[in-house]
Amino acid sequence: MTDREKVTHMRDHKERIDKERLQSLPLKGGDGGGTSDSMEERVSQLEKKFDRLETKLDTNTTAINDMRVSMATITERVAHLPSKEFIYKGIAGLIAVMGTLAVLAPKLQQMFGIIPK
């Protein structure tokens, strides 16, 4: 028998023993005796934990809803930002105007009499 088989056999044997032990323990009626001595206390603790969990869940739900509103606001604001195409066209237009002024500057200066002829 290999080590793995031995371990599996021992585990199965332990599970059988535990199952038999649980079946042999007597449970008394609802007076809290037998193996259920602290059942009411445990249920009470679980109820308290559940109430705290429910409160946390409500808080998280509220926070998630607030984040949804914030995301919608951000999405709407981003939608109104200028596109890359608009920015590129604006820069190209500005460069064209500046180039034209640079080329025509001497003629404009002569025309308005800023520099002598």
Q: What is the pLDDT of residue 29?
A: 55
In angstroms, the CA 41 to CA 114 distance is 98
Q: What is the pLDDT of residue 110?
A: 84
Which residues are within 8 A (CB) of 114 and not within 5 positions of it... i.e. 6 or more apart?
108
Domain range for 110 is 82-117
- Residue 37 has phi, psi (to 5 degrees) of -60, -45
pLDDT digits (tens, 9 = 90+) for 77-99: 999 999 999 999 999 999 999 99
* Averaged confidence pLDDT in the chain: 85
Say whether both 50 and 71 belong to one domain.
yes
CB atoms within 10 A of CB 36: 14
pTM over 0.85: no
Q: What is the pLDDT of residue 57?
A: 93
Question: What amino acid occupies position 22?
Answer: L
**Domains in the chain: how many in total?**
2
Say whether both 101 and 77 belong to one domain.
no
CB atoms within 10 A of CB 101: 10
Task: Determine, yes or no, domain membership for 30.
Answer: no
Say whether both 66 and 86 belong to one domain.
no
Say whether both 86 and 76 belong to one domain.
no
